[in-house]
C-alpha cells in the first residue's frame, strides 16, 4: 500500500456525517485529517474530502450557509466526495429539496444527474458490493474484482464518461468517478476494511 507523503487533509462538514470514523481511517494510513469549514484552511490543504450522509438538499443548504459551495469549485488539489458527498459533485439530484424544489441543485463539478435507485431488489442499497468495469487509474491501484466495499445509499449517478468503476443494485450505477482533480466514491471507504484503506491511501498519493 502506498504511504501518503506530507498530506494535509481537510474534511469538509456538510452536516450529519460521522467524521470520527473517517478521521480514524485516515490516521490508520498515516494521515492527520481535520474537520474544517474555514475556506483558508480548505484551500491550503493538500487533499480535501467531502463526506455526507442523509439528504442532498440538507447537505447543499449546509454548504451554502457556510459559503463552501463557492469554495469547493475553486480547489485545484485532489477532492474526494464520499457517499452523499460524491452525489453532491454532480449537477443535481432527484432527491427532493424539502418543500422548496422537486430536486436539489448540486455543485456541478461533474456532468450528470443523480437518480433514485429502483425499489428492487431492495431500497435503499445497504451492504457489501463489488466493483466492475474498472478503468485503470491510480485511484484504483491494487483494487480488484474480489474486493468488497460497504454501501449505504438510495440515490446514485448513472455510469458515464467519468466513471472509473460501476456497481449494480437493480441497475448499474457509478461507484467510483474521476475528472481532473475531482474524485468520488459512492461507498464508504472508511467502513470498507482493507480495500477502503487502499483507496484512501491511493487518494492521498495523488498530487
pTM: 0.94
pLDDT of 64 above 80: yes
Q: In angstroms, rounded to a whole number, what is the distance separating the alpha carbons of residues 119 and 153?
A: 12
Determine what percent of the chain falls in helix, strand and coil, rounding each to the nearest 5.
Answer: 25, 30, 45
- Asked whether residue 54 is assigned to any structural domain, the reply reads yes
Q: pLDDT digits over 76-87, tens only?
A: 999 999 999 999
pLDDT at 18: 75
Number of domains in the chain: 1
For residue 91 the three cell numbers come to: 449537477
Q: In angstroms, rounded to a whole number, what is the distance separating the alpha carbons of residues 167 and 132?
A: 6
- Asked whether residue 3 is assigned to any structural domain, the reply reads no
pLDDT at 7: 82
- The verdict on whether 190 is a catalytic residue reads yes
Collapsing DSSP states into helix, strand and coil, what is residue 118?
coil
- Asked whether residue 1 is assigned to any structural domain, the reply reads no
Q: What are phi and psi of 37, to 5 degrees?
A: -105, 10
- Asked whether residue 26 is assigned to any structural domain, the reply reads yes
Q: pLDDT digits over 118-164, tens only?
A: 998 999 999 999 999 889 999 999 999 899 999 999 999 999 999 99
pLDDT of 184 above 90: yes
Structural domain boundaries enclosing 32:
9-205
Q: pLDDT digits over 15-45, tens only?
A: 876 799 999 999 999 999 999 999 999 999 9
Q: Which of 26, 58, 83, 153 is catalytic?
A: 83
Q: CATH code at 51?
A: 3.40.50.880
C-alpha distances in Å from residue 198, one per residue of 62, 67, 184: 30, 32, 14
Q: Which of 47, 125, 169, 188 is catalytic?
A: 188
Give the list of residues 6+ apart from residue 147 with CB closer than 8 angstroms, or none.
Answer: 130, 131, 195, 198
pLDDT of 100 above 60: no
Q: pLDDT digits over 174-183, tens only?
A: 999 999 999 9
Amino acid at each position: 500500500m502506498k504511504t501518503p507523503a506530507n498530506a494535509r487533509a481537510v474534511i469538509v462538514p456538510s452536516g450529519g456525517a460521522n467524521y470520527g470514523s473517517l478521521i480514524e481511517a485516515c490516521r490508520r494510513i498515516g494521515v492527520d485529517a481535520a474537520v474544517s469549514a474555514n475556506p483558508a484552511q480548505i484551500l491550503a490543504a493538500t487533499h480535501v474530502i467531502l463526506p455526507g450522509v442523509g439528504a442532498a438538499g440538507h447537505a447543499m443548504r449546509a454548504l451554502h450557509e457556510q459559503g463552501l459551495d463557492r469554495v469547493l469549485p475553486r480547489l485545484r488539489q485532489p477532492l474526494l466526495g464520499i457517499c452523499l458527498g460524491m452525489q453532491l459533485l454532480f449537477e443535481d439530484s432527484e432527491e427532493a429539496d424539502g418543500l422548496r424544489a422537486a430536486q436539489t441543485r448540486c455543485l456541478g463539478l461533474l456532468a450528470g444527474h443523480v437518480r433514485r435507485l429502483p425499489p428492487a431488489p431492495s431500497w435503499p442499497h445497504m451492504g457489501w458490493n463489488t466493483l466492475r468495469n474498472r478503468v485503470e487509474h491510480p485511484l484504483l491501484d491494487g483494487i480488484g474484482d474480489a474486493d468488497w466495499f460497504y454501501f449505504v445509499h438510495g440515490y446514485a449517478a448513472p455510469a458515464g464518461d467519468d466513471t472509473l468503476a460501476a456497481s449494480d443494485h437493480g441497475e448499474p450505477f457509478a461507484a467510483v468517478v474521476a475528472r481532473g482533480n475531482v474524485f468520488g466514491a459512492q461507498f464508504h471507504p472508511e467502513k470498507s476494511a482493507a480495500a477502503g484503506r487502499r483507496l484512501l491511501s491511493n487518494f492521498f498519493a495523488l498530487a
